Structure 1
Amino acid sequence: MASIEQVIRERMCSGCGACQFAAPDLFRMEENADGYLQANKISDAEEPAELRRICPFSGERLSETVIAERQWPDLPVNSQIGRHARSIVCHATDEKLRMAGGSGGLVTWIALELLRRGLVDGVLHVQPVSTHASTPAGRLFNYSVSTSAEEVRAGSKSRYYSVTLADVLTEIRSRPGRFAVIGVPCFITAARLLVEEGQIERDRVPYMIGLVCGHMKSRYFADYLAWQKGVTPGTLDGFDFRQKLLDRPASNYGFRLHTPDRDEVYPMKSVRGRDWGEGLFKLPACEYCDDVLAECADAAIGDAWLPGYVADPRGTNVAVIRHPDIVAIIAEEQGRSLHVEDVSVEAVIRSQRSGLRHRREGLAHRLARRAAEGLWIPEKRVSPALAKGRLRRRIYDLRLKIANESNAMFADAVKAGDLNVFEKRMDPILRDLRHATQGGYIKIMLRKGLQHYRRLRHRLGR
């Protein structure tokens, strides 16, 4: 079984900070040269075996399946989305709240309702540095504790940026109250493991809200987008990754950059790096995660990338609800402060099909590649198996190469003061990936067209 030190050596630390929280004299979260936070061992003392049970990438911890079964033993389970009490698409009816969110405003809406009803005293979520004075210098975002509706609203929207729970969990250890935790799947898993191991009292964090996750980004993602618009790395003082553009579908959003001299919005289509499937600036750990729908969270919330919803530029959420309190709150507010439509589990799966495929078939393929090279294999809920077909294998191999190399290549460009250093080194890899994915798509469409033609000829022949 892997120690936390081995997880770090194998570049499979996602920066959750559970180890620092549990053993601050042994581990500290620090930003590495690749632009993301990871644990570093700061003492020669031996690592206690129990620490391995709180790391979401350690093979000794409980799996998401086991944690979810303990949390909601009576709920039905699906192999793709986990336990589920209700699956919905929805959006806040308050237009200001909806427009302030990354999608339909559901994450902020739930946090506000929990706070308004006195079910929690505060919310742990990611805030811009301007709203959290204790954030370390040079960082754009960090976790903080919000105790008012105004503070909660200031934390709306997605932050594609490396952060950690370590400091904020330490902060609430010394202050009374109950808190809701909002985070990506591996962070929610880490928080559950801390509860399971008695590091956090269960009633201190009664609600955990998960964000449907494609992957996490290093801080270089914001710098890359801004640099293409003439803003050199290190000069940003704010960034909005999800600026809604009301003249186009929700999927065609923009970004907003802030410097002391500029406050401008640009469509994502105007820059390179907009294709999430490329995996630029992805944390390497994300290539070895099998949780898309935050299976340990009381509610898992994402974008409703579905026909009939994506056309609305104001945004719509898809969600899997598990906690009975949240189920009841949504039922009570349905048609009032929240517009809700029930959807099937299959619809939820369709909305995240690409991510699920990459974390199931793609993960099995990556594990098989590691096994063939004699490398350590993290214990996951899929077994190592190469993807079927040369095209799929090539796509997964190229994505892994991009995840492993793009951050370091960008760091080289920053040192050189020349964005072209990054572009010249990454362009061949990205071009190969586009040829593989688009070529595969064209072949599929041609095959479907041929099948349709044959069926039509058969019918006409009758």
Structure 2
Amino acid sequence: MKINNLDTIIESGLCVGCGICQSLAGRETVTMEVSPDQRLRPRTKKPLADVAFQKIVQVCPGVTLRGPTKDQAGPAGTTHNTFGPITCLYRGWASNENVRFHGASGGVLTALATHLLESGKVEAVLHVEASAEEPIMTNARVSTSARQIYDGAQSRYGPGAPLTKVHHLLDANCVFLVIGKPCDIAAIKNLARFDERVETQIPYMFTMFCGGLPSLQMPSDMAEHFGVKVNELSRFRFRGDGWPGLTHMETQDGRSFDLTYQECYLSENTPWTYDAQFRCKICPDSIGELADVVCADDGSVLENEKPMDRAVPGLSIIISRTPKGEVLLRDAESSGAIVLESLSEAELVTMHASHIPRKIGWPARTLGLVLAGNPTIKVRRFRRAKAILASGPIDFLKNLIGTFRRVRRGVVVEVGFNKS
């Protein structure tokens, strides 16, 4: 199947919902909207010129994914076979206790973003925040103050398209930081190959380890569990205010409800599912190999290998993947913005072993798509041969056959707007 329009990308299960296509084409031509599958997807409002569409295809991380260059980590860094470029590795947290408590995992990304803004190294921060009008929705946000960054902190387990505002900021000659999912960062890296402004105007990019992006159906079902309709909500917090943080809902008439992390994501007896989009299940980069700084939950605050129900001060695993990311971390520590402690690669691998199956399984899964006649991601520089060797022949065949069968059963298919 040939990719000949945006709906083909959606219907093939490859769209990540980042919003870069809207940014490239303009809102009058492409706009991000909620699809029939309750995911944020691009709707084509006016016919796209072939040149414009081909540029979108070259930048879209659902279609093209280029991994780190051999020298990304610099002469002193290393490239782990599974966890990618590493120039330095820490556990840490925000020095400001309010930021540490408010953020989803120690507040490190919030503290680093604030440090960059207040030190004048960037003029704005592009990130996401909860929608005030529709609390289960996640909106793109351009912050120009520490308070705005703080207000947008905390994890959002659902669709969000921060990249819709990229060209608005580039055209305004703004120097800005991007905080997004790993696939959002991949889109910016793809864009840099065609737009020289990216190198000078986006000096830093941050991301986090990603467990996959669920649809809006999940928070809707969580609210429904308490007899609440989404249009009755005034607030929906996925995580934050302690680690791991309660999922917290408030209604317009003053009611409130909470769910623990285990109730939300680790219990099998719930009326909701973490329905991660198909593109996430074949992703070569759930750990943000292309960013300057990456953060992840620190498993040292687990109890019996599970997040505890009570809130504790958050900790982050912090990985610098570029020399300038390493310099930034040390500057932020020196200025008192963050606290850093040593962390070994062995601890990282142990705490985040759950990412390994996707990191070594993507070659078989993407090949399974091709054999089933489905479009797939064009992947470069993600250590394909090493992933195949680590997977082994049995798991490789299981992943290949499993993906092939899913495609043939129509499991990967989403409904595009031209069929809705």
Q: TM-score, normalised by structure 2?
A: 0.81
Query: 1:28: Cα distance to partner?
Result: 2.8
Compute the RMSD of aligned alpha carbons: 3.6
Residues 180 and 206 of structure 1 are in contact (CA less than 8 Å); yes or no, is this contact kept in structure 2? yes
Confirm or deny: 8 A CA contact 2:125 2:144 kept in the other structure. Answer: yes
Aligned equivalents of 1:379 and 1:325: distance in 2? 28
Aligned residues: 391
C-alpha separation between the residues in 2 aligned to 1:403 and 1:147? Answer: 44
Q: Distance in 1 between matches of 2:30 and 2:50?
A: 10
- Which stretch of structure 1 is more off in the superposition, 144-153 or 80-89? 80-89
Looking at structure 2, the residues matched to 169 and 333 of structure 1 have their Cα atoms a distance apart, in angstroms, of 26
Larger RCO, structures 1/2 (Cα 8 Å, 6+ apart) = 2
Cα distance change of structure 1 residues 334 and 52 upon mapping to structure 2, 3 Å threshold: same
Tell me how far apart the structure 2 counterparts of residues 394 and 195 of structure 1 sit (CA, whole Å).
32
For 1:177 and 1:108, the matched residues in 2 are separated by: 20
User: Structure 2 matches for 1:61-100, cutoff 5 A?
Assistant: 61=64, 63-66=66-69, 69=70, 71-74=72-75, 75-100=77-102
Matches within 5 A, 1:3-22: 5=6, 6-22=8-24
Partner of 1:433 in structure 2? Answer: none
Partner of 1:351: 351
Residues 209-260 of structure 1 deviation map (CA, whole Å, 9 limit, x = unaligned): 1111111122222112121122123332321111456xxxx45x42100210
User: Matched residue of 1:171: which SS?
Assistant: helix
Residue 234 to residue 197, structure 1, CA distance change in 2 (3 Å): same
Please tell me the residue identity of whatever aligns with 1:93.
S
2:46 aligns with 43
Alignment CA distance shift 1:314-1:38 (3 Å)? same
2:266 is equivalent to residue 266 of structure 1: no
Q: Is the 8 A contact 2:364 2:400 kept in 1?
A: no
Unaligned runs of 5+ in 1: 409-462
- Does the Cα contact within 8 Å between 1:88 and 1:343 map onto a contact in 2? yes
Residue identity in the other structure for 1:47: D
2:276 paired with 1:288: no
Please show how residues 36-435 of structure 1 align to structure 2 within 5 Å. Answer: 36-48=39-51, 49-58=54-63, 61=64, 63-66=66-69, 69=70, 71-74=72-75, 75-130=77-132, 140-198=137-195, 200-244=197-241, 250=243, 253-261=245-253, 262-270=255-263, 280-306=274-300, 313-334=312-333, 336-361=336-361, 363-380=362-379, 381=382, 382=384, 388=394, 404=411
- The CA distance in 2 between the partners of 1:105 and 1:324, in whole Å, is 22
Q: Would the alpha carbon gap of residues 333 and 138 (structure 1) be closer, same or farther in structure 2, given more than 3 Å must change? A: closer
TM-score (norm: length of structure 1): 0.74
Q: Structure 2 vs 1, CA of residues 114 and 272 (structure 1 numbering), >3 Å: closer, same or farther? A: closer
Q: Which runs of 5+ in 2 are unaligned?
A: 416-420
Query: Retained in 2: the 8 A contact 1:102–1:315?
Result: yes
> Which structure is higher in helix share?
1
Counterpart CA distance in 2 for 1:303 and 1:218 is 22
Q: In structure 2, do the counterparts of structure 1 residues 83 and 139 end up closer, same or farther at CA, with 3 Å as the change threshold?
A: same
Partners of 1:72 and 1:158 in 2: CA distance: 27
Check conservation: 1:292, 1:356, Cα contact below 8 A. Answer: no
Residue 418 of structure 2 aligns with which residue?
A: none
- CA–CA distance in structure 2, aligned partners of residues 367 and 35 of structure 1: 24
Letter in 1 for 2:202: V
Separation of aligned partners in 2, 1:306 and 1:190: 32
Indicate conservation of the 8 Å contact 1:228/1:271, yes or no.
no
Contact 2:17–2:41 at 8 Å: present in 1 too? yes
What is the CA–CA distance in structure 2 between the aligned matches of 1:273 and 1:228, rounded to whole Å?
A: 16
Specify the SS of the correspondent of 1:234: helix
CA 1:46–1:115: 2 relative to 1, 3 Å: closer
